[in-house]
Amino acid sequence: MKTTESRRNGTKALSSYARPDGRGARPTRPMTDFSIIGKPIAMVDAAGKTSGAGKYTDDLSLPGMLVGKILHSPHPHARIERIDTSKAEQLDGVIAVAIGADAPNTYGILPVGHDEHALAVDKVRYVGDNVACVAAEDEATAESALELIDVDYELLPAYFDPEDSMKTERDLIHDNKAHNLEKDYHHVFGDPEKGFAEADQIAEARYIANEVTHAAMEPHSTLASFELDSHTGKLGRLTVWSSTQVPYYLQHKLSLVLEMPMSQIRVIKPLVGGGFGGKSEVIPLEIIAAIAARKAKRPVKITYTREEVFWAHRGRPRTIIDLKTGVKNDGRITAVKARVVQDGGGYCSYGVVTILYSGALLGALYDIPNIQYDGYRVLTNKPACGAMRGHGTVNVRFAFESQLDELAARINLDRAEIRRRNLLQPPCITVNGLRVQSYGLPECIDKVVERSDWQNRKGKLPRGRGLGIACSHYVSGAANSIIRSDMPHSTVNIKIDRDGGVVVYTGASEIGQGSDTMTAQIAAEVLGCSLARVKVIAADTDLTPIDIGSYSSRVTFMAGNATLRAAQEVKKQIASAAAKKMVCSPEELVFRNDLVSRNGGAGTGHVGTGALARPVPAGFLGTNSSAHASVSGRVEGQILRGSLQQKRKDQGPKDSMSFEEAVVAAIDFHGALTGTGSYAPPPEARGGKHKGAGVGPSPAYSYSAQVAEVTVDEDTGEVTVHKVWAAHDCGRALNPVSVEGQIIGSVWMGMGQALTEEMIWKDGLLMNPGLLEYRSPSSVESPEVEPIIVESIDAEGPFGAKECSEGSLAATIPAIANAIYDAVGIRLHEAPFTPERVLAALRAKKNAKTLNLTEGVDPTAPARFREHGGAVWFKGKGAERVGRAPSPANGD
């Protein structure tokens, strides 16, 4: 059991970081000589969150601020013939009504997918598409004005099923996308046909993972305000506060749509209430707020209602996976063939990247010699799908790990063992061009097998109770940016002034995952100063250098490396000046605990209390012990030059200096103390040469193995997850509290997708656009998750760290599916595993007739859209209902 030293800001030490009841006691790790890295610390912004003082975008207001409300399309696919806003404009309190013609330029998060208008120009492509925006003095007026906008639509045939949509030749969703096909890729690596010929067992099946969404607790919100140009009196610079994971991309897209230079646009990210990918691209309201502010000449804030958040979506697409896997009798995989169809919704969004990840991340987990991948990203008349935690890999991983489990049963091999038989031998480059270096998967499997007592309990649990195992992995940031350029992916500036305060400027976005804390920790560790000295200024495009944002789990690896380099640069400057004062070489100096001391001198073994200008404790200065007495002229953390010179004269060269003294010496010597660091992934990590090779490569991959224990009620079909053991290789845990939080959160979100979460669509209408109907697990439905940190110490990660926020999610769904098989012998091929699907599979197994619980009446299908409780601004009758073939039976 590991004890921890005192914590920052005078917060009390946790006497032991192990859980109070002894569960989950931390395994002993090699002792490291870090003072801040690896310690469980509270996030640097925790107090603002627990006290309610922290400000999120919707908490902000400006003098003269207007409320914006958006009119959404009631039709899934229609041409706009006419929009008449005159009645709305005349309503008292309405300042402006914006429509598509006010900003007709297209944009999209991917350079290959500029297919969106902030407000529809000619066509609407899903129920909920954005048509007009009212900026009014208050919310009630804005909502009344929406009712006064007249829009004439010419209805077009709409497509809701991707496989139907692919067959169409007319009434295309986008004219330049034949067969409504956004993109298709066909990759062959190795010789799959030969691989299948060599296999002793081949399994082939169709898997379906239904659509899920992020449902971050904070609804999207944007506040946009123009300044008056002091020379012309016209609208000048634009400032946007927005709930975004990617301030730089938002600045870029605003510039495209508003036709303003990027330098005239400032994007500030306040606290963000969760993203999970939903805020990793530019959501229409972020641009609409700026368009409305320009038209109204006043600041405009738009905050989505929860229902609008569901329509804005950008979540994980419904995915149909036809998967074929071949294995030898010894368990070795010989070949994999996957055909993946994704129901992408009405716009490209991140779609091209999603469909590529689905194929590319078949590699880099196991050693698979032959892979065939056919991926189809299809457009349908539903809200666009985008990036969501575990982007692209989750649904395919569910299929793959389920099928591997099935094959293990067929060849009578332990289900953990078949995974061990297919391990990579890193360092290596996989058949599809992914470079793998650190690889903690073997240890992850060992740990979960050991902790769950797998060997003694597997197959011995009573009927209805089962254990399942599965593995997953994820990138630590994409090696290739979506905007192809030689730009570094992260840049960090550090400034230290005479007060001894360290200010880190980073574009990385704190969204709750601990980005700011990680940045402060790395800077403090390198500079050997206390965490309380470090102030992180993040995600403000005027102040912070470009960083491409918080997505694909890139921040720790990339922004962390940039912080490390910037801090090292500053440290070098301090060292050279301090060395002069101490009459030694800079290499002899050790920076630790707010002291700069000569090698072997004082200063180790003591952890800073975090107070600025802390008097150096007696005894730490060795022979010169009188030197620690407080220096006259010291004012609140500053050391005035005159007094310092006097002191030096008195004392001659020393063995040790306080951090502030060293900083002052460096500023005197160099004139200023700043450092810059940037990170770009190395060329050898950037993947192969084939079309689409840019997506999938990462400088490092995280690894995860999980065992889930479930019970299945065979009468009701209800699945209960009791416990999940989750081992995750995060390279090095910079802050174990954060890492464990990310692992538990990922597993929990995966469990939601496995059991309850599903967006239910009827003819392009979302039947469950609310947090009561979209079933995110509550505390009573959430299992105990035992996080197990595995540290493989990556050679290129900052202090060896890699990804930890997404990779665990993908293993949870198949671990639960495999546990259900262990419990009651059914293989579920469609997620989530709702009671209906479990019961259907149980009956199918007994060759019993499928129960039709609703007797042909579909309780989720209202005659008209409005009847399910759609909000007032969805006007009109809604989509006409069409008959639909019954869903195929689930399971085998």
Partner 1 sequence: MKKQLLELRVNGRTHEIAIEPNRLLLDALRVDLQLTGSKRGCDDSSCGACTVLVDGTPMLSCTMLAASCEGEEITTIEGISEHGALAAIQKAYGDWGGAQCGFCTPGFMMTVKHLLATNPNPSEADIREALSSNLCRCTGYSQMYEAIKAAIEAEQKAGHQPQSGEIV
> Which residues lie near partner 1 (CB under 8 A)?
7, 11-12, 14, 19-20, 42-43, 45-56, 58-59, 140, 214-219, 271-276, 303, 305-307, 511-514, 737-738, 740-741, 744-745, 747-749, 770-772, 776, 778-780, 782, 784-785
For tokens 């404790």, name the residue: 617
Q: How far is the CB of 22 from partner 1 (least distance, A)?
A: 12
Cβ proximity to partner 1: between 292 and 747 the closer is: 747
d(Cα 565, Cα 798) in Å, to the nearest integer? 9
Residue 709 corresponds to which amino acid? E
Cβ proximity to partner 1: between 214 and 732 the closer is: 214
Cβ proximity to partner 1: between 12 and 170 the closer is: 12
Q: How far is the CB of 424 from partner 1 (least distance, A)?
A: 30
Q: Report yes or no: 807 and 704 within 8 Å, Cβ to Cβ.
A: yes
Other beta carbons less than 10 A from residue 140's beta carbon: 12
Cβ proximity to partner 1: between 59 and 414 the closer is: 59
Q: Of 758, 753, 756, which is closest to residue 768 (Cα–Cα)?
A: 758
Cβ proximity to partner 1: between 124 and 555 the closer is: 555
Q: How far is the CB of 50 from partner 1 (least distance, A)?
A: 4
Cβ proximity to partner 1: between 505 and 774 the closer is: 774
Q: How far is the CB of 775 from partner 1 (least distance, A)?
A: 10
Q: Report yes or no: 793 and 245 within 8 Å, Cβ to Cβ.
A: no
Q: How far is the CB of 211 from partner 1 (least distance, A)?
A: 17
d(Cα 188, Cα 369) in Å, to the nearest integer? 11
d(Cα 192, Cα 198) in Å, to the nearest integer? 10
Cβ proximity to partner 1: between 60 and 256 the closer is: 60
Q: How far is the CB of 836 from partner 1 (least distance, A)?
A: 23
Q: How far is the CB of 389 from partner 1 (least distance, A)?
A: 10
Other beta carbons less than 10 A from residue 305's beta carbon: 15
Q: How far is the CB of 492 from partner 1 (least distance, A)?
A: 23
Q: How far is the CB of 178 from partner 1 (least distance, A)?
A: 38
Report residue 641 as tokens: 């030059």
363 Cβ contact partners less than 8 Å away, ≥ 6 residues apart: 189, 371, 430, 431, 432, 433, 434, 696
CA quadruple 165, 166, 169, 173: dihedral sign: positive
Q: How far is the CB of 737 from partner 1 (least distance, A)?
A: 4
Cβ proximity to partner 1: between 275 and 814 the closer is: 275
Cβ proximity to partner 1: between 14 and 423 the closer is: 14
Q: Of 109, 107, 130, 115, which is closest to residue 177 (Cα–Cα)?
A: 115
**Helix 641-651, helix 659-670: angle, nearest 10:** 110
Cβ proximity to partner 1: between 273 and 477 the closer is: 273
Cβ proximity to partner 1: between 7 and 318 the closer is: 7
- Which letter, b or e, does each residue of 666-694 get, where b requires 16 or more Cβ atoms within 10 Å of its Cβ? bbeeeeebbbebbbbbeeebbbbeeebbb
d(Cα 316, Cα 307) in Å, to the nearest integer? 17
Q: How far is the CB of 781 from partner 1 (least distance, A)?
A: 8
Cβ proximity to partner 1: between 216 and 469 the closer is: 216
Q: What is the DSSP string of 62-92?
A: -TT-EEEEEEE-SSSSEEEEEEE-HHHHHST
Cβ proximity to partner 1: between 274 and 426 the closer is: 274
718 Cβ contact partners less than 8 Å away, ≥ 6 residues apart: 712, 835, 838
- Helix (H/G/I), strand (E/B), else coil: 496: strand
Report which DSSP code applies to 758: -
What Å distances lie between residue 252 and 353, 375, 775, CA to CA? Answer: 19, 29, 35
Query: Which residues share a beta bridge with 8?
Result: none
Residue 523 belongs to what H/E stretch? helix 515-527
Cβ proximity to partner 1: between 620 and 725 the closer is: 725
Q: How far is the CB of 194 from partner 1 (least distance, A)?
A: 44
Report residue 511 as tokens: 């969204």
Cβ proximity to partner 1: between 104 and 869 the closer is: 869
d(Cα 361, Cα 256) in Å, to the nearest integer? 32
Cβ proximity to partner 1: between 140 and 483 the closer is: 140
Cβ proximity to partner 1: between 49 and 421 the closer is: 49
Q: How far is the CB of 138 from partner 1 (least distance, A)?
A: 9
Q: Of 251, 244, 255, which is closest to residue 283 (Cα–Cα)?
A: 244
Other beta carbons less than 10 A from residue 781's beta carbon: 15
Strands 719-729 and 784-790 turn out to be parallel
Q: List strands edge to edge, sheet with 589-592.
A: 589-592, 595-598, 656-658
611 Cβ contact partners less than 8 Å away, ≥ 6 residues apart: 10, 530, 532
Q: How far is the CB of 215 from partner 1 (least distance, A)?
A: 6
Report residue 598 as tokens: 């000569």
d(Cα 640, Cα 632) in Å, to the nearest integer? 9
Report residue 865 as tokens: 């859209």
Report which DSSP code applies to 56: B
What Å distances lie between residue 592 and 33, 314, 712, 744, CA to CA? Answer: 10, 45, 54, 33
Q: How far is the CB of 822 from partner 1 (least distance, A)?
A: 23
Q: How far is the CB of 753 from partner 1 (least distance, A)?
A: 13
d(Cα 646, Cα 197) in Å, to the nearest integer? 85
Cβ proximity to partner 1: between 12 and 82 the closer is: 12
Q: How far is the CB of 75 from partner 1 (least distance, A)?
A: 24
Q: How far is the CB of 771 from partner 1 (least distance, A)?
A: 4
What Å distances lie between residue 844 and 49, 423, 714, 814, 821, CA to CA? Answer: 50, 35, 13, 21, 14
Query: Which residues share a beta bridge with 658?
Result: 595
